[in-house]
Amino acid sequence: MLEVHRTHRAKIRNHSQVVEPLDRHGWDASKLWNVANYHSREEWEETGEIPDHSDLKDELKTHNKYKGLHSQSSQRVLEELAEAFNSWYGKRKADGRANPPGYRKKNYYDSQGRRVHEEHPRSTVTWKQNGIKHDIKNNRVCLSKGAKHKEHPKAWEYILVEYETRPGVTVENLQQVRAVYDKATGRWELHLVCKDEIETPTAPGIETAGIDLGICNFAAVAYSTEEANLYPGNRLKQDSYYFQKEFAKCDDPGGERATRLHKKWSERRTHFFHSLAKHIVERCVARGVGRVNVGNLAGVREDESGESKNWGNHGNLDLHGWAFDRFTKIFTYKAKVEGIEVVEVSERDTSKTCCVCGKEDDNQRVERGLYVCEECDSAFNADVNGAENIRLDLNQSNSESSAILDEDRSTGWLAQPAVYLHDLSSGFQPQEQVVDCKP
Give 373 or 384: the residue with its C-beta nearer to Zn ion: 373
> What number of other Cβ atoms are within 10 A of residue 170's Cβ?
10
Q: Judged by CB, which is closer to Zn ion: 5, or 365?
A: 365
Question: Among 91-99, 104-112, 352-360, 391-399, which window interacts with Zn ion (CB under 5 A)?
Answer: 352-360
Candidates 256-264, 276-284, 347-355, 416-424; binding stretch for Zn ion (CB under 5 A): 347-355
Which one of the spans 20-28, 154-162, 231-239, 359-367 is the region binding Zn ion (CB under 5 A)? 359-367
Q: Alpha carbon 102 to chain centroid distance?
A: 20
Among 258, 281, 345, 356, binds Zn ion (CB under 5 A): 356
Whole-number minimum distance, CB 57 to Zn ion, in Å?
A: 54
What minimum distance in Å lies between the beta carbon of 379 and Zn ion?
10
Best CA proximity match to 353, nearest among 311, 395, 301, 300? 395
Which residue(s) pair with 189 in the sheet?
A: 180
Query: Which residues are registered as beta bridge partners of 163?
Result: 12
Q: Is 94 in the site for Zn ion (CB under 5 A)?
A: no
Site string for Zn ion, 371-410 (x = CB under 5 A): --x-xx-x--------------------------------
Task: Decide: 359 and 353 in contact? Cβ < 8 Å.
Answer: yes
How many other C-beta atoms can be found within 10 angstroms of the C-beta atom of residue 163?
Answer: 20
Q: Provide the minimum distance between the beta carbon of 413 and Zn ion in the complex, in angstroms, as a whole number.
A: 15
* Ramachandran angles phi, psi of 91, nearest 5°: -70, -35
CA angle (193 as vertex; 190, 194 as ends), nearest 5: 130
Residues touching Zn ion, count (CB under 5 A): 8
Do 221 and 33 contact (CB within 8 A), yes or no?
Answer: no
Q: What mask of x and - would describe binding to Zn ion in positions 208 to 247, judged by CB under 5 A? A: ----------------------------------------
Residue 373 CB, shortest distance to Zn ion, in Å, is: 3
Rounded least distance, CB 396 to Zn ion, Å: 20
- The answer to whether residues 254 and 267 touch, using CB atoms and an 8 Å cutoff, is no
- Closest approach, Cβ 361 to Zn ion, in A, equals 9
- DSSP structure string for 154-190: TS-SEEEEEEE--TT----SEEEEEEEEETTTTEEEE
Question: Is 373 or 387 the residue whose CB approaches Zn ion more closely?
Answer: 373
Q: Which of 209, 354, 384, 387 forms a contact with Zn ion (CB under 5 A)? A: 354
Cβ nearer to Zn ion, comparing 271 with 359: 359
Q: Does 357 bind Zn ion (CB under 5 A)?
A: yes
Whether the CB-CB separation of 213 and 345 falls below 8 Å is answered with: no
Which region among 12-20, 37-45, 101-109, 366-374 touches Zn ion (by CB under 5 A)?
Answer: 366-374
Question: How far, in Å, CA of 81 to CA of 74, rounded?
Answer: 11
* Residue from 95, 61, 93, 92 nearest 77 by CA: 61
CB of 293 to Zn ion, least distance (A): 20
Number of Cβ within a 10 Å radius of residue 439: 11
Binding site for Zn ion (CB under 5 A): 354, 356-357, 359, 373, 375-376, 378
